[in-house]
Amino acid sequence: MSLSLQILQHVPVNNYVLLAAMLFCIGVFGVLFRRNTIIVLMCVELMLNAVNLLMVAFSAMHNDPGGQIFVFFIMAVAAAEVSVGLAIMVLIYRNSGSVDIDLLNKLKG
Amino acid sequence: MSNYLFYILSFLSIFSALMVVLSRKPVHSVLYLIFCFFTIAGHYILLNAQFLAAVHIIVYAGAIMVLFLFVIMLLNLNAETEPHKPLIIKGASVVTGGMLLVVLIATFKSAAMSVSSPEFNSDLGMVESLGKVLYDQYMLPFEVSALLFLSAMVGATMIGKKEI
């Protein structure tokens, strides 16, 4: 227990903020960088996890379980989002024979 | 010792997150993403959120990643069929991500954050304390998330059908 007891005494919260910012930016970068829709969805998951990590860090900082409860709800929403998103992706693949995100511009005005 | 653990875990999570974006085969991306989720679970344990670490591994590495792998293998995606953006858009996305990171770092650098409460409760992330809060204060959101799951289930089944 003594290992995790003082993690925020050894590592400042700013380091966790930096780490979460980096993970979030990698997620944004991946969404812009890739054309495979499944990998874009994976990068969205990465961004969600960056926010989760930040929320757990602040929860430990303030000694408040509310932040961890919110992470719990975000996980539930992410699971629902992924299941519907992958179903949509299979439908797109069945209709157009590809998961290229640049082909999905039919709704463009 | 625990700060070395933090830096090792941070390096591993950032490296695997970058490899998710940069690896050519989609299956490799998924495997790196699983690894990244395990390192984030390590961060949760380090931050004294043991229950969340267990739930994170079960939900992400157990459920979501299996779904991703299943879809990638179902669609038979590999490096040859992988579409790539033109070079100028790739450069623009690197610049955009870097600029966003610079803005975020500049914003948070001046923020003074320190551990406010001196008393420390190591049972904070255990099932008992989280369950008390969840079923007491957050009862309504918990029930609403059940509704969300029902609608997601119905939606996924409807979308996945052969003809709508």
Range of the domain at B138: 124-164
Question: Closest Cα partner for A76 from A98, A52, A94?
Answer: A52
Q: For chain A, give the DSSP string.
A: -HHHHTHHHHS-HHHHHHHHHHHHHHHHHHHHH--BHHHHHHHHHHHHHHHHHHHHHHHHHHT-THHHHHHHHHHHHHHHHHHHHHHHHHHHHHHHS--BGGG--TT--
Instruction: Name the phi and psi angles at A36, rounded to 5.
Output: -70, 120
- Tens of pLDDT along A25-61? 999 999 999 888 899 999 999 999 999 999 999 888 8
Exposed/middle/buried for residue B23 (C-beta within 10 Å: 0-12, 13-18, 19+)? middle
Same domain, B49 and B108: no
In a domain? residue B119: no
- Candidates A33, A63, A87; nearest CB to B156: A87
- ipTM for the complex? 0.89
- Whether A73 and chain B come into contact, CB under 8 Å, resolves to yes
Number of domains in chain B: 3
- Whether A51 and chain B come into contact, CB under 8 Å, resolves to no
- Whether B54 and chain A come into contact, CB under 8 Å, resolves to no
In a domain? residue B44: yes
What is the pLDDT tens value at each position of chain B, 164 positions in all? 778 899 999 999 999 999 999 998 888 999 999 999 999 999 999 888 889 999 999 998 888 888 888 888 888 877 677 777 788 988 999 999 999 999 999 988 887 776 665 566 777 778 888 888 889 999 999 999 999 999 999 999 998 887 66
CATH of A3-103, one of 3.40.50.720, 2.60.40.10, 1.10.287.3510, 3.30.70.120: 1.10.287.3510
Q: What is the pTM of this model?
A: 0.89
In a domain? residue B117: no
Separation CA A78–CA A81 (nearest Å) = 5
Q: Which two tokens stand for residue B6?
A: 């933090």
Question: DSSP assignment, residue B58?
Answer: I
Residues 100-139 of B with CB under 8 A from A: 100-101, 104-105, 108-109, 111, 113-117, 119-122, 124-125, 129-130, 133-134, 137-138
Q: Give the distance from CA B16 to its chain's centroid.
A: 12
Separation CA A54–CA A60 (nearest Å) = 10
Same domain, B129 and B155: yes
Separation CA A74–CA B148 (nearest Å) = 12
In a domain? residue B33: yes
Separation CA A39–CA A44 (nearest Å) = 9
Please give the pLDDT value at position B115: 64
Q: Give every CB contact of residue B129 below 8 A, 6+ residues apart in sequence.
A: A65, B121, B123
**Which runs of consecutive H residues, i.e. helices, occur in B23-138?**
26-46, 50-56, 65-75, 87-109, 127-136
Same domain, B103 and B133: no
Residues of chain B contacting A83 with CB distance shorter than 8 Å? 67, 152-153, 156
Q: Which two tokens stand for residue B127?
A: 């099932």
Same domain, B62 and B100: no
In a domain? residue B60: yes
Q: Give the residue on A whose Cα is nearest the Cα of B105.
A: A18
Same domain, B18 and B69: yes
Same domain, B55 and B66: yes
In a domain? residue B118: no
Same domain, B55 and B97: no
Same domain, B99 and B76: no
Instruction: Name the phi and psi angles at A100, rounded to 5.
Output: -70, 125
